[in-house]
Amino acid sequence: MSFQNPLIHNPLDEEDFQVSEGSGDEAEQPPPPPSFPDLELKIKKSIETLGGAIFPKLNWSAPKDSTWISPTGNLRCSSLSEIALLLRASDSLVHDLCHAYDSCSDKSLPRPPTFFLALRKWYQSLRPEMEFRCFVRCQILVDISQREVTGFYPAVLEEKDDIKALIEEFFVDNVRLQFESENYTFDVYVTNDGRVKLLDFNPWGAFTLPLLLSWDELEGNSVVGDGVEFRVLESQCTVRQTAVPFDYLDTSPGSGWDQFLRNADEELQRQTSSPDTGA
């Protein structure tokens, strides 16, 4: 299910933007936090309809680069607060919101006129190691990369040639010449019985994660004669392109977390010492 303009809040339309007359203490009261009760209710009902768990996507991108901040380490969400946490921490979504058309030669707007929050059903049984990103250049499949790059899966390495053949056949039969763009990426899932399921399309460019490849490699690869390169993790050495930032773990004196906790403690003391407390 999709929601049109779900997170757009225009404070210029709100009466609380007007300065109210009163005492100095009243005027200095911080504004209430933003609230979206109608949106929260719609999302809650949609999550229930989809089985109690979803993963979010905004226009083109899912916040896959912010899974480090999720308690579960993945995109699984069951409430608006969990969705908002992932969205706010994602650089991919900032690109969608502010720089979506920067790479387009005919761009006339920096951002889409309309935004959509899509909620997709979360399937617990799906094996993340069987998701793959495919790179198409000049309508030719040139590279395939494993999408789950945080762990080593020996079974994928053993079945690498068979998986590659399945994806190549699927591309020729179902994708090639059916998609208008010449350069793009698409994601697939390979089932236990050898079927290939199309998951999504993404633009060709730097803001689509290249995973085990790099965009310099992809742009420099020849589309003639080299065949399809298929990369999977081949050892326990893992790649964490979107792991927890050092600043998030650093709690030493003077660090960002240290300052944040100090500010939070001061705010708590201010609130508990306020004469209105308990009123």
More confident residue, 34 or 224: 34
pLDDT score for 29: 79
Q: How far apart are CA 245 and CA 255, in angstroms?
A: 13
How far apart CA 215 and CA 275 sit, in angstroms, is: 59
Write down the pLDDT at residue 129: 93
pTM attached to this predicted model? 0.66
Confidence of residue 12 (pLDDT cuts 50, 70, 90): very low
Summarize the confidence of residues 100-114 as an average pLDDT: 73
Mean pLDDT of 177-181: 85
More confident residue, 64 or 144: 144
Cα-Cα-Cα-Cα torsion 8, 13, 15, 16, nearest 10 degrees, comes to 40
Which neighbouring-strand residues pair with 3? 117
CB 94 within 8 A of CB 102: no
Mean predicted confidence (pLDDT) in 79-90: 92
pLDDT tens, position by position, 145-158: 999 888 889 999 99
| DSSP-based three-state secondary structure for 177 | coil
Q: What is the pLDDT of residues 229-245, one digit of tens each?
A: 999 998 876 555 555 55
Cα(238)–Cα(257) distance, rounded to whole angstroms? Answer: 27
Position 212 pLDDT exceeds 80:
yes
Given a contact cutoff of 8 angstroms between Cβ atoms, the answer to whether 55 and 199 are in contact is no
Separation of CA 180 from chain center? 25
pLDDT band at residue 189 under the 50/70/90 scheme = very high
